Structure 1
Amino acid sequence: MTVSRTINGHPYVTGETAKKVRAAIRRLSYRPNHAARVLTGQLSRSIGLIVPDIADTFFSVVSHAVQETARESGYLVWLAASDEDPTIEAAQVEMMTHHPVDGILLVPADSRNGYLKTLASGTTPIVTIDRPIEIATTDSVGVENRRGARLAVEHLIQHGYKKITCIAANSHLLTVKERIAGYKESMRRAKLPCPKELRVSSPSAAKSALSELFGSRNRPDALFTTNNSSTILVIETLQQLDIEMGKDVALVGFDDVAFFTLITPPVTAVRQPAAQLGNIAARLLLQRINGEFKASSIRTVLPVSLTIRESCGCKKGDAGTSKASAQIALALID
């Protein structure tokens, strides 16, 4: 009991006794048994983070920010990748809750999967990042997807483009659905024809779809891609088809990636505050773990910005940033 009180800074241990205990700890290289501490009801000082793909630039930035924020508060992060598979994700969640972790940060592979209802109603605090759960209520941190899409499409319209095609990967995701909706709103507002979005899932599918699109009578003069996966597929395919981006067709993508500046021409893209998403989500989870909120759920929505480069038709030197007027439901920045 005296050793335990010394380790935990209990005031009932005299200075002389505490000094002897710390000396013994150093001599024996003693380390507290964290598993035993969890069994006594103490926090594990660890949280889980499950993302679809660790290699994805967006999620790697989010993960790094989560780890930095957790470390500042003395927490360890258990990181896992679901590979966009709800079955794998559910198994990872179960392992983490039995570990146990004090809370979980989750980017759902399928926001409507039935197991999420059980997860949301459990005792382990859950905060979703980027993709909110559609069938249950939890804390969430995301961005203004619809307004970001409108910002991108309206920039293309300002250039004078009239045939703008939307290209989507992972179109089942709520975030991508919102971006498609933003594209349609801008096209209708400008009274321009609004063709159904082109869905691509692989390099071969992208090549087949774009070959047909650019060989048709309704060949587009501009493209809006809904996430970095679709943007990369389109860039690779345009190169294969010998279609010059920024000259033969304009392009604006949703999700900015560091290497977009290295491509010729550099890619205009909607930038999400990935590091801020991870930071705020981790802070929200830690605050929820510590019982700092009484509200049943907190939804935080962050603004996005358009980074203007040359793929949209802008000239070199015209680069800049336009901000979407996003409404932030709650800012967790003290």
Structure 2
Amino acid sequence: MHKSSPPKRATLEDVAKAAGVGPMTVSRTINGHPYVAEETAKRVRAAIRQLDYRPNHAARMLTGQLSRSIGLIVPDLADPFFSVVSHAVQETARESGYLVWLAASNDDLSIEAAQVEQMTHHPVDGILLVPVDSRDRYLKAVATGTTPVVTIDRYIEVASTDSVEVENRAGARMAVEHLIGHGRRRIACVATNSHLRTIKERIAGYEECLREARLPRAKVLQLSSLAEAKTTMAALFNSGNRPDALFTTNNASTIWVIETFREMNIEAGKDVALVGFDDVDFYTLIRPPITSVRQPAAELGRMSARLLLQRIKGDSASSSVRTVLPVSLVIRESCGCERKE
């Protein structure tokens, strides 16, 4: 059976031919040149739509025709972690004279794919992306396209792109080793979004620590909602295998645990130790304050933006760069440590 070849991507010359003008007129129309007659511009725009023409990024770069804008797509703007990342990206881009088009995918792969497509069409000079699913096949085309892409927090598993991440496994080990140091022996893990590579790494770090310390078998609660967290944790704490410590894998799971503790009259730090992954400002306002693994969220945003701007300017390495930033443990009282005066 004969396999048909993919349709050829329209060129600037194709648009010029369809509109009955020269290539220079098409270029001037795209870039808003004032000396193109309105009737001519209409014909060019109609040809662009008809042929689904997209200006080639490399060609724009060589002629100095960059849009001076980048795209940023995160899963959830309400998440404090991604809010800090987004702010740092915008500040870094602004310092270099770039505008940031910000979008939230709502953890929906179809929304994310549409946003990437729209940003590529309009176009932006590069895209910063926190992928919903690092293994989805559509990312192959994104990674090999003409628009530079840098991923934040999660690297693309099906293709090679620049990425900026943190030490997820090492951070989890740091948290669990601290609990073990308090003499805790029945340590359970509470996880959300356990399909994500970042969460898998944190769970792996937790399990490694328990094996190495020869503690009871790991107990991982994979939850999808606050209601499920309340039901599952009530059953666990009312069982004969009640944990004496919890490790939570991200902000959402930590907050669900705190709310569940409140309803069950359980006090973190006394009745059960608690250490979470991700640190946010309001953890100091909770009683007791929450011990947590702090990710350098602002540095993630700054570094990823700088890396993307280097790609846009063409002055970075030819091969992809994977950057992993260190994390730190912020000790407060939920783990059982005494308050520092």
Gaps of 5+ in 2: 1-27, 34-53
Question: Where does 1:71-150 land on structure 2 (aligned, <5 Å)?
Answer: 71-150=94-173
**Structure 2 match to 1:287:** 310
SS at match of 2:219: coil
Structure 1: distance between partners of 2:285 and 2:224: 24
Residue identity opposite 1:36 in structure 2? G
Match of 1:156 among 179, 183, 190: 179
Structure 1: distance between partners of 2:191 and 2:177: 18
1:196 shift after superposition: 3.4
SS at match of 1:168: strand
| 1:44-84 CA-partner distances (Å, limit 9, x unpaired) | 00000000001110000000000000000000000000000
**Structure 1 match to 2:285:** 262
**Structure 2 match to 1:325:** none
TM-score, with structure 1 as normaliser? 0.84
Contact 1:34–1:44 (CA under 8 A) maintained in structure 2: no
1:200 shift after superposition: 1.2
1:194 shift after superposition: 2.5
SS at match of 2:257: helix
**Structure 1 match to 2:251:** 228
**Structure 2 match to 1:204:** 227
Contact 2:210–2:218 (CA under 8 A) maintained in structure 1: no
Structure 2: distance between partners of 1:194 and 1:224: 14
Match of 2:275 among 252, 255, 278: 252
Q: Give the number of aligned pairs.
A: 287
**Structure 1 match to 2:188:** 165
Is residue 293 of structure 2 the alignment partner of residue 297 of structure 1? no
Structure 1: distance between partners of 2:227 and 2:179: 27
**Structure 2 match to 1:46:** 69
Structure 2: distance between partners of 1:149 and 1:35: 50
Contact 2:167–2:327 (CA under 8 A) maintained in structure 1: yes
1:294 shift after superposition: 3.1
SS at match of 1:253: strand
Contact 2:150–2:162 (CA under 8 A) maintained in structure 1: yes
**Structure 2 match to 1:36:** 32
Question: CA RMSD for the aligned pairs?
Answer: 1.6
TM-score, with structure 2 as normaliser? 0.82
Contact 1:53–1:84 (CA under 8 A) maintained in structure 2: yes
Structure 2: distance between partners of 1:76 and 1:57: 22
Is residue 186 of structure 2 the alignment partner of residue 190 of structure 1? no
Q: Percentage identity across aligned positions?
A: 70
